[in-house]
Structure 1
Amino acid sequence: MLKEAHWSAMKSIPEIDEYISNGFVSFALGPIVLPTLYLIGPKLSEAAVRGKEMLSLFELLSTSGRLLNDIQGFKRESQEGKLNAVSLQMINEGMSKEEAITSIKNWITNKRRELLKWVLEENGERTNNIPRACRDLFWKMSTVLNFFYMDEDGFTSQSMAIVVKELLQCPIVLEDDIRS
């Protein structure tokens, strides 16, 4: 976030690759996803936690999340004078807003495909340190992010706040409970 604040203060326009290499970290999934891996069950070795596989899973998930956020937050962030992937594509590549969004959606699709390959591969050259249950967490979080940003920015959405409140406050009634 410091780098993004610096870009804003200096009124500099980064290249999209520089923005993404910083943006996947500033999206801040690390404090949510990474500690959760320790609660899933399988023990993780220090080598696994610090290895290429973990970094790749995290980078793919966080990059697609950052891009989803940027598409849905484009209007608000533009009004605040903030740059994001959509505005950078428009500025650096001379694209229209619609072309930039289409390009970024394709980018997200490719990142999610690559993430799914990492998650599903068994005993391959890429997946030898992270247990499948832990890899599944990355895919499940990717699905949550897609839901969260499906129609609007989930962080500023009133409809999303209502869904979350209902989920937390209303008991879930299972089919067996209804028949009793």
Structure 2
Amino acid sequence: MSHLHCFANGCLRWDQHHQVEFYSEQVEVVFSALYTTVKQIGEMASAVQNLDVTKHLDETWLHYLRSAATEAEWRRSEYVPTVEQYMTEAVTSFGMGPIILTSLYLVQQKLENHIIKDPEYNELLKLMGTCGRLLNDTQGFERESSDGKANIISLRVLHSEGSMSIEAAQEAIQESIASCRRDLLRLVVREERVVPRPCKDVFWRFCKTAHLFYCHTDGFSSPKEMLCTMNAIFREPLKLQTTSPLAVQSQK
């Protein structure tokens, strides 16, 4: 059993994880850290919601881990998925499910259970996850190809049976990213239906963050790529643009 499968097995048992025989001490330590963190966040979110929401947080993490385990099994067995199979798991394994839900529970004071089970919520999550995954795959294509990991670009080329080049696949993915972004924005600004506007705004902000991370390279995995941006946000003083009186006078 792989480290990831053992980790996922522990998550399957969750509150009974003490009955699981972990693959190694490292796996047990990582699982314990995740379990403790999710429980702590669940307590905080439950206090905000005035309702126990830890179970749904647990389910969302488990959904993510199942997809990650599936991808790990593909790689171990050298199985080549179809584009559709890959995207089904890859959108989930991008990890926006638990991140978004945690944020929403802490932003929206009363996030009713029917809201997060509504098709509108699922569509927002799917578009955000798809956009993020495609951005990630675009910047990680060369590295993941050398590591033997499935990637949307390599799969599009492979399954085209020679009719699509890498450049053409990259261009097609860029068009898909733009389409997802438009569709997501359309849902966000649409007249409020089930998902409250403050919640929709969170999806849009995460989308913009993903574009920031992946606009030039894989800023998420790079230890230095985002350093200037982080310093600009947290450490550097605001730079206000000023216009001299003479310049104002000359414009009149």
TM-score, reference length from structure 1: 0.87
Query: How many equivalent residue pairs?
Result: 171
Runs of 4+ with deviation above 6 angstroms: none
Show the 5 A alignment for 1:99-138.
Answer: 99-123=168-192, 128-138=193-203
Give the aligned residue type for 1:162: L
**Matched-pair contact (CA < 8 Å) for 2:213–2:226:** no
- 1:149 is aligned to 214
**Matched-pair contact (CA < 8 Å) for 1:42–1:133:** no
Give the aligned residue type for 1:92: H
User: Is 1:64 aligned with 2:128?
Assistant: no
**Matched-pair contact (CA < 8 Å) for 1:42–1:131:** no
In structure 2, what is the Cα distance between the partners aligned to 1:35 and 1:167? 26
TM-score, reference length from structure 2: 0.64
Aligned-residue sequence identity (percent) comes to 36
In structure 2, what is the Cα distance between the partners aligned to 1:29 and 1:120? 20
Deviation string 1:90-133 (CA, Å, 9 cap, x unpaired) is: 1012321111100111111111111111111104xxxx211111
Considering Cα pairs closer than 8 Å and 6+ residues apart, tell me whether 1 or 2 has the greater RCO.
1
* Structure 2 alignment gaps of length 5 or more: 1-67, 241-252
- 2:156 is aligned to 89
> Larger Rg: 1 or 2?
2
User: Is 1:170 aligned with 2:239?
Assistant: no
Deviation string 1:13-56 (CA, Å, 9 cap, x unpaired) is: 11111111111110011222111112223521100011111111
**Matched-pair contact (CA < 8 Å) for 2:153–2:169:** yes
CA RMSD, 1 decimal: 1.7
**Matched-pair contact (CA < 8 Å) for 1:61–1:138:** yes
- 1:9 is aligned to 76
* Structure 1 alignment gaps of length 5 or more: 176-180
